[in-house]
């Protein structure tokens, strides 16, 4: 069985490389990004960042964060950068140095650590921890309250979508890269791929008997939560997905597509052109081809793009990754 599965994977890789030579380059970039992004590099955090401990407003337990306070005399934006699924506040984050180089307030909070326990994974405690971190940054820095930005990739993208739904703060922009939006869907996809993350999903949702409890998974999935249209009427939500994710990465682009459609529906979209259609979704999933000339982000072509009011979906040439230079610049623009 393993030999058959391996052979199928090789055949699929050869086919994709033949269809689109840039696929191989994307894999190399993903490997490079993975190595960089998941290393805990103390030398990064020793370059002007402060390790702080923030008392939870929910249960009184301290959560650590790395924090940079702008040295400018005038108020500056605040970037709240959220760690990935298996990471925590110590995880390498390129956005940190970019923020410091622009003298912008920055915080990289722990919100109950990696998504392996019931207190993590977008639980009420975890989301409260992020709000507490924002409070800390506001109280201890000169923050422009109209320019608070939240950004995250993968599990951090999930947390970003969750904060869009539930944060108490007035956030200017939510930038969610290759996010998970539905733990039920991701669990089923993981079972098919024999993913290591399926055990995490079971554990963090307190599911019994080693099998996922769908009701508990919905409680951690922003896909199933009511959209706070009044609270977010002036906020921007930008969702980015690499078109090859789900093949070279662990999170299929349907997570981004379905969440985009959900939110624009809540904001009153009635024209079918404002949605990603089933036909468009099938073509994207089956062919991974561009729908037209939408320009580029960084050096990558945009394969597909939708926008309704302040909600935007961009599917770019790439995999399970954040294009950090573009992501940072896009926040500040």
Query: What is the tens place of the pLDDT at every residue in 11-30?
Result: 545 455 455 555 454 555 45
pLDDT band at 103 (very low <50, low <70, confident <90, very high): very high
- Distance CA(251)–CA(155), nearest Å, equals 10
pLDDT band at 301 (very low <50, low <70, confident <90, very high): very high
Q: Residue 26: helix, strand or coil by DSSP?
A: helix
- Distance CA(117)–CA(115), nearest Å, equals 6
pLDDT band at 9 (very low <50, low <70, confident <90, very high): very low
Closest CA to 286 of 3, 19, 11: 19
Name the pTM for this structure. 0.87
Q: What percent of the chain has pLDDT over 70?
A: 87
Establish if 9 belongs to a structural domain. Answer: no
Rg of the chain over all Cα atoms, to the nearest angstrom: 19
Closest CA to 45 of 16, 12, 7, 81: 81
Instruction: Quote the pLDDT of residue 15.
Output: 52
Establish if 34 belongs to a structural domain. Answer: yes
Instruction: Quote the pLDDT of residue 140.
Output: 98
Judged against a pLDDT cut of 50, whether residue 54 lies above it is answered with yes
Is pLDDT larger for residue 101 or for residue 30?
101
Establish if 48 belongs to a structural domain. Answer: yes
Establish if 5 belongs to a structural domain. Answer: no
Task: Look up the CATH number of the domain holding residue 107.
Answer: 3.40.50.1820
Q: Residue 237: helix, strand or coil by DSSP?
A: strand
- Distance CA(141)–CA(152), nearest Å, equals 22
Q: What would the pLDDT profile of 145-155 be if each residue is shown by its tens digit?
A: 999 999 999 99
Establish if 20 belongs to a structural domain. Answer: no
Establish if 137 belongs to a structural domain. Answer: yes
Q: Please state the rounded mean pLDDT for residues 270-293.
A: 94
Establish if 17 belongs to a structural domain. Answer: no
Q: How many domains does the chain have?
A: 1
CB atoms within 10 A of CB 183: 30
Residues listed for the chain: 333
The tokens describing 254, both together, are: 């349907």
Closest CA to 149 of 95, 200, 203: 95
Residue 65, φ and ψ in degrees, nearest 5: -160, 155
**Rounded to whole angstroms, what are the CA distances from 101 to 94, 141, 316?**
11, 17, 27
Is pLDDT larger for residue 33 or for residue 289?
289
The tokens describing 140, both together, are: 């201890």
Establish if 19 belongs to a structural domain. Answer: no
Q: What would the pLDDT profile of 212-251 be if each residue is shown by its tens digit?
A: 999 999 999 999 999 999 999 999 999 999 999 999 999 9
Judged against a pLDDT cut of 60, whether residue 317 lies above it is answered with yes
User: Which residues span the domain enclosing 162?
Assistant: 28-332
Closest CA to 31 of 328, 317, 327, 320: 320
- Distance CA(26)–CA(17), nearest Å, equals 10
Judged against a pLDDT cut of 90, whether residue 319 lies above it is answered with yes
């Amino acid at each position: 069985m393993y030999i058959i599965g391996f052979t199928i994977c090789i055949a699929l890789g050869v086919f994709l490389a033949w269809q689109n030579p840039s696929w191989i380059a994307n894999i190399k970039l993903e490997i490079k990004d993975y190595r960089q992004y998941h290393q805990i590099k103390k030398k990064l955090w020793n370059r002007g960042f402060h390790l702080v401990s923030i008392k939870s407003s929910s249960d009184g337990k301290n959560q650590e964060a790395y924090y940079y306070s702008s040295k400018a005399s005038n108020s500056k934006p605040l970037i709240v950068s959220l760690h990935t699924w298996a990471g925590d506040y110590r995880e390498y984050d390129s956005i940190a140095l970019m923020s410091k180089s622009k003298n912008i307030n920055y915080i990289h909070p722990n919100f109950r650590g990696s998504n392996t326990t019931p207190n993590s994974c977008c639980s009420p405690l975890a989301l409260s921890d992020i709000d507490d971190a924002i409070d800390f940054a506001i109280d201890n820095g000169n923050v422009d309250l109209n320019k608070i930005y939240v950004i995250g990739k993968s599990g951090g993208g999930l947390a970003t979508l969750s904060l869009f739904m539930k944060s108490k703060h007035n956030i200017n922009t939510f930038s969610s890269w290759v996010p998970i939006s539905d733990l039920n869907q991701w669990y089923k996809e993981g079972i098919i791929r024999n993913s290591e993350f399926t055990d995490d999903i079971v554990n963090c949702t307190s599911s019994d008997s080693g099998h996922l409890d769908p009701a508990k998974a919905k409680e951690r999935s922003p896909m199933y939560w009511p959209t706070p249209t009044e609270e977010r009427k002036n906020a921007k939500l930008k969702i980015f997905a690499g078109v090859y994710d789900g093949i070279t990465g662990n999170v299929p682009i349907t997570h981004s597509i379905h969440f985009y459609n959900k939110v624009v529906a809540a904001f009153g979209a009635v024209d079918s052109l404002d949605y990603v259609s089933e036909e468009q979704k099938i073509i994207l999933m089956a062919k991974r081809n561009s729908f037209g000339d939408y320009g580029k982000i960084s050096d990558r072509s945009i394969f597909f793009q939708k926008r309704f009011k302040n909600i935007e979906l961009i599917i770019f040439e790439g995999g399970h990754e954040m294009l950090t230079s573009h992501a940072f610049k896009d926040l500040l623009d």
